[in-house]
Amino acid sequence: MAKTKTKFVCQECGYESRKWMGRCPGCQEWNTMVEEIESPEPKQRGAAPSASPARLSGAKKPQSINQVSGDEEPRLKTPLSELNRVLGGGIVPGSLVLVGGDPGIGKSTLLLQLSAALAGMNESVLYISGEESLKQTKLRADRLGVDAETLYVMPETNMGVIEQAIHDTKPALVIIDSIQTVQYDDVTSAPGSVAQVRESTNAFMNIAKQQGVAVFIVGHVTKQGSIAGPKMLEHMVDSVIYFEGERHHTYRILRAVKNRFGSTNEIGIFDMEESGLVEVKNPSEIFLEDRSQGASGSIVAAAMEGTRPVLVEIQALVAPTTYANPKRTATGLDQNRLSLLMAVLEKRVGMLLQNQDAYLNVAGGVKLDEPAVDLAMVVAIASSFRDQPTQPTDAVMGEVGLTGEIRRISKVDQRIKEAAKLGFTRAVIPAKNEGGWTKPDGIEIVPVHTLEEALKVTAEGSRGVW
């Protein structure tokens, strides 16, 4: 008998080695090499491909791009409009969607509600749970008020049984919770390993493309917040959406980071209640409902999340430091950007911040990563440093350059319309964005060229320049 060969595979990046190593040479992570049995090669390397009649008859021939039908696939619109927004307008038949998020954040709750909503539209849904029994799934369904005849639940981890169930049921949507529990008989490694996750995901991809079934797979996350398993997993799927939120807040944010059928960085807002997740139609009101009036270090920024304008409160606290190196802490914002903007304030405006600790926070738990919130960050820092409140009815937007200029931003008209809808009476914008769009009624537009000019117009009342 031939001797069984083994190899060591990194569970983070998929790097293979003949011997065990404490640190992976591919991703530099420690203690990620796991022993797996090496499957025999079906043929020798360099051998000519088989030219059997079966292979030739089943092969697809190249086709001219002009002959390919350009008709858009009809999307399956769900009753969850926030989910439709994130997916680009609804579920595309034959798509493979990866859903990630921290444990207990609400991934299973969201997908069970989605299953019930589609089953209520007389669509067949197959829910495969590898982590819960039938009774556990039923208890959660009762808590959410799920009552659907065409929602089929199956606790299973064997890939062969799952494939047969999909073939027999012929559902419009398949949900796998989670991909780390599914095991393929042809792969000898344990469930959740790189080989198992890769082969199982590849099987679901073939099912989705060949049978036109939409497949949602849940992926566990590492302690760093990324999807567990090989990075190839995110490349294989059509869409990657993350379910974000703080355990101490009831609001959850569904964010698309990859989408072959729509816009990326699109977000949907949900509120976690006892009866399940409830959609938030106007997130700006939620993020601003607890805002304090007349407090220094607070300003409202008009940000864009995908195609949706969102108004959020940016808070700053600047205080003298007791350490040799002052602290720079940002929650929901880029900490490196905070240090850069404080250096611009020192150099271009003359604020002595090198002996000050600075703490920045985005109220509500949302994360902002666009440069259009630079001006709001600077105004909040200056307001806290001078202990002078800003105008409570001001909304600011703009990118700050290293020379102190206020640079152009995108979609300024949508940001201003959202501000006017929520009762803001003045918007501070980059001068380069003035004109070319229709100003909404009831809001004053203040264009600014430089950072010093922006700080002057945002100072409250007539107390002068900061």
Please report the pLDDT score of residue 289 as a whole number: 82
Give the model's confidence band at 164: pLDDT under 50 very low, under 70 low, under 90 confident, else very high: very high
Secondary structure, 3-state, the chain: CCCCCEEEEECCCCCEECCCCCECCCCCCECCEEEEECCCCCCCCCCCCCCCHHHHHHCCCCCCHHHCCCCCCCCECCCCHHHHHHHCCCECCCCEEEEEECCCCCHHHHHHHHHHHHHCCCCCEEEEECCCCHHHHHHHHHHCCCCCCCEEEEECCEHHHHHHHHHHHCCCEEEEECHHHCECCCCCCCCCCHHHHHHHHHHHHHHHHHHCCEEEEEECECCCCCECCCCHHHHHCCEEEEEEECCCCCEEEEEEEEECCCCCCCEEEEEEECCEEEECCCHHHHHHCCCCCCCCCEEEEEEEECCEEEEEEEEEEEEECCCCCCCEEEECCCHHHHHHHHHHHHHHHCCCCCCEEEEEEECCCCCCCCHHHHHHHHHHHHHHHHCCCECCCEEECCEECCCCEEECCCCHHHHHHHHHHCCCCEEEEEHHHCCCCCCCCCCEEEEECEHHHHHHHHECCCCCCC
pLDDT band at 316 (very low <50, low <70, confident <90, very high): very high
Residues facing residue 389 across a β-bridge? none
Predicted pLDDT of residue 245: 80
What is the phi/psi pair of residue 179, to 5°? -70, -25
Give the whole-number percent of the chain exceeding pLDDT 90.
58
**pLDDT given for residue 364 in this prediction:** 79
Q: What is the pLDDT of residue 40?
A: 58
| CATH level 3 topology of 76-281 | Rossmann fold (3.40.50)
Examine the pLDDT at 13 and tell me if it is beyond 70. yes
pLDDT tens column, 120-162 = 999 999 999 999 999 999 999 999 999 889 999 999 999 999 9
Answer yes or no: is pLDDT of 46 > 70.
no
Q: Which residue type occupies 59?
A: A
Amino acid in the structure at residue 156: E
For tokens 């905070």, the residue is 338
* Residues placed in the known binding site for ATP: 101-108
Could you count the other beta carbons within 10 Å of the beta carbon of residue 414? 15
- Averaged over 424-443, what is the pLDDT? 92
Token pair listed for 239: 């869409």
Lowest mean pLDDT among 62-76, 318-332, 431-445: 62-76
Least confident of 58-62, 380-384, 419-423: 58-62
pLDDT exceeds 50 at position 58: no
Task: Tell me the mean pLDDT in the region 20-26.
Answer: 91
Residue 427: per-residue pLDDT? 95
* pTM recorded for the entire structure: 0.75
How sure is the predictor about 263, in pLDDT bands with cuts at 50, 70 and 90?
confident
pLDDT confidence tier of residue 460, bands split at 50, 70 and 90: low
Residue 57: the pLDDT is 42
Structure tokens at 196: 């198992």
* Per-residue model confidence (pLDDT) at position 466: 54
pLDDT value at residue 302: 95
Amino acid at 70: G
What confidence tier does 39 reach under pLDDT thresholds 50, 70, 90?
A: low
Residue 186: pLDDT over 80: no
Instruction: Supply the pLDDT for residue 41.
Output: 52
C-alpha 444, offset from chain centre: 34
CA–CA gap between residue 218 and residue 103 (Å, rounded)? 11
Q: What is the pLDDT of residue 43?
A: 44
CA dihedral 402, 403, 406, 411 (to 10 degrees): -40
| Domain 76-281 identical in fold to domain 286-458 | no
> In the predicted model, what is the mean pLDDT of the chain?
87
Q: What is the pLDDT of residues 376-396, one digit of tens each?
A: 999 999 999 999 999 889 999
Average of pLDDT values for 53-78?
Answer: 72
Give the CATH architecture of domain 286-458. 2-Layer Sandwich (3.30)
Written as one letter, the residue type at 45 is: R
Whether the predicted pLDDT of 56 surpasses 50? no
At 218, the pLDDT band (50, 70, 90 cuts) reads very high
270: exposed, middle or buried (C-beta count within 10 Å: 0-12, 13-18, 19+)? buried
**Annotated binding-site members:** 101-108
Sorted by where each begins, the domain ranges of the chain are: 1-38, 76-281, 286-458
Give the whole-angstrom CA distance, residue 296 versus residue 410: 28
Is pLDDT at 45 greater than 50 in this prediction? no
* Burial 10-35, CB ≥16 within 10 A → b, else e: bbbbbbeeeeeeeebeeeeeeebbbe
Give the end-to-end CA distance of the chain in Å, rounded to a whole number. 83
Q: What is the pLDDT of residues 320-333, one digit of tens each?
A: 998 889 999 999 99
- 270-291 per-position pLDDT tens digit: 988 888 999 988 888 888 888 8
pLDDT of residue 419: 94
Query: How many other CB atoms are there within 10 angstroms of residue 163's CB atom?
Result: 14
Q: What angle do CA 204, 245, 200 make, to 5 degrees?
A: 15
Confidence of residue 198 (pLDDT cuts 50, 70, 90): confident
Residue at token pair 């600077």? 378
